[in-house]
Amino acid sequence: MTKISIYAFFKKTLYKASIFLLAFLLIFSEFLVKSPPAFAWIPKTHVYLAEQARDDAIDDGKVTINKINSRGEIISKVGDYNVDSSILQALRSNPEQYRAGVIGPDAYPDLLTGQQTIHSDNTKTGGTNSNQWLDYLWRKSDESPYKTLPVKAFVIGYLTHAAGDIYGHTFVNYFTGGKFELGENALKHIVLERYVGKRTPKLSSYDISIDGVREFLYREMVDARPGEELYELLKGGGSEYSVPRIFSKLRAELQRDIDDYDNTINKYNRRIDEKKRAARDCDPLDFGCSAVALRSQAAAIEVEKQGFIVAQGWKRAYKVEWRKDIERGLREWPVFSHDLAKATFNPEGIDFDRVKELSGDYVENHLILMAGAPDLSIDFLSVIKDVLSPIPFIEQQIERIERDLLNYLLKQGTGYTLEEIEKYLKNPERYFDEVMGRGQGTKTSLESFNRDTLNITDKGFDDNFRGSGAPEFFNYERFAAAYNTVVVSKLLLLPTNEINRLLRDLDDNNTLTGPNIMLGFVKTLDGSNEQQKMLLAQQCETYRQLFVKQAGEDFCLESIATPNNSTFIPILGYLLQ
């Protein structure tokens, strides 16, 4: 192989790598356009509500389930129910892993896979739905070697995220007009979700950790290999933007090429061995068997093999190293996603500088190499520009990406720059009336939303409410969607026999046969009224004794009377539409 042909190969590979990297970045932009992240509860609110369920569980090993009257008021206690013993132990010993799980598919295995694949119902395009993922994680956490307390805490947190989403999205979609879509709907989601986040009470700790969970995340959510269940889960519609899917598939293709090369070498070796063996077995008196001729044939095959090695062996070596780069990058993906989650979902606000730093480091240290660039100490962007200089459009895109990757992606995906979007994220209250008073969905104002939905007395948003030095926060027991989230977050901590005891206490003859109340019914975490398919909603009388009627629910309405002075005033506005 001449130096010129080797250079041509690497130039061609660099070209492919740069195209792959650019395509990946543009795919990310397309993801933001078609399926931008919709949180319903932002992570701060998710974690706060989950902590209410955890706090109730860890003090005495029981959770209290209350009874609700037709006006949405807590009137009595149904009972105290025993938390599953292994779940209780996990909650007590691994609160940080539980909180990481509560952030759930908004962060793990990554935002793209979580939003597009795990949050969505992709069954019509050959993909999966949300329940398949929840069931998969539940089963895997109960199998060796992952049957550990940190993994148990994480997976219970993951189910708790799903519990929050089915009520949070029902609530948010009611006011925004539907799931997150580019344009006016997107701004309504951002403003409403961030405003509720500002009204969320503070916790003493938002610390999250994947210690003891990292290998589980890698093996069961990232490391997709042909023939394994994860590989099948990441097939079909909804996985187009998934880094685990993209690079696991590429790794499998490289491995096939490597295996094909090895198989060819093995065939050469078998042919050579057969000739040499035949030469050794030649009887000197058998004039029809020539050991010299057979050894000569073996030598000719050896020459042919060496020619193949010269022509193809260095390509195999390159692909082996490329595969290793993918392995290293995928193994680091859970850590990158975790660090990104801490920077993105900081309760004090998004740390954009940290997000840029983390993203840049991963692209430079892993993504470029995973895309197929040679593992050399080079300024890769300058090489890309040199290789792609004959293509002006791509060269211009690279220059824009090099100047400001984050703004490039945001502008391509949402139509807004970081500076333009930041004002809605930081101060949603300033734009609440303007954004929430127009377009699709139920229109509302800051004053009426505070009064009728959050049940707080602040008519606007006062950072120093009544001189107390802090804004007024919602009380989850007076905020219907938040209350419902906490109730189901408690219920999913119970073993099957305790759920069935609760059903009997409510004179409901249904029986839970599955391992957890949150499994078996959620097709999508982004839609509305998924809770209608839950076992506890099969009899409206049962459901309405446990859950408050909230904005956006469209089932079991007949058992709710219009309240005169309800604890949950938002019911009034909804029922009188």
DSSP track, 74-105 = EEEEEEEEEPPHHHHHHHHH-HHHHHHHHHGG
Q: Are 418 and 406 in contact (CB under 8 A)?
A: yes
Q: Please say whether the dihedral angle defined by the alpha carbons of residues 431, 346, 134 and 238, taken in this order, is positive or negative.
A: positive
CA distance 503 to 22: 55
List Cβ<8 Å contacts ≥24 apart for 230-235: 230/136, 233/117, 233/128, 233/132, 233/133, 233/136, 234/113, 234/117, 235/126, 235/127
Partners of residue 74 on adjacent β-strands: 68
Which pLDDT value is given to residue 494?
Answer: 98
Which pLDDT value is given to residue 354?
Answer: 87
User: Encoding tokens for residue 102?
Assistant: 């509560």
Q: Are 459 and 450 in contact (CB under 8 A)?
A: yes
Residue 173 C-alpha from the chain's centroid = 20
**11 to each of 17, 18, 372, 378, 384, how far by Cα in Å?**
10, 10, 11, 14, 10
Beta strand 62-68 pairing with 74-82: antiparallel
CA distance 130 to 521: 9
Would the pTM count as exceeding 0.75?
Answer: yes
DSSP track, 146-171 = --SHHHHHHHHHHHHHHHHHHHHHHH
3-state secondary structure of 66: strand
Q: Where are the beta strands (DSSP E) in 225-303?
A: none
Count CB-CB contacts under 10 A for residue 390.
7
Residue pLDDT tens, the chain, 577 long: 444 455 455 555 554 555 455 455 544 444 443 444 556 788 999 999 999 999 999 999 999 999 999 888 899 999 999 999 999 999 999 999 999 999 999 899 988 888 888 988 888 888 889 999 999 999 999 999 999 999 999 999 999 999 999 999 999 999 999 887 766 778 888 899 999 999 999 988 889 999 999 999 999 999 999 999 999 999 877 677 788 988 899 899 999 999 999 999 999 999 999 999 998 989 887 778 888 898 999 999 999 999 999 999 988 988 899 899 999 999 999 999 999 889 888 777 778 788 878 888 888 888 888 877 655 444 445 544 554 455 455 455 545 544 455 565 555 545 566 677 778 888 899 999 999 999 899 999 999 999 999 999 888 776 555 445 567 899 999 999 999 999 999 999 999 999 999 999 999 999 999 999 999 999 999 899 999 999 999 999 999 999 999 999 999 887 444 333 334 433 333 333 3
Closest by Cα among 28, 43, 39 to 341 = 43
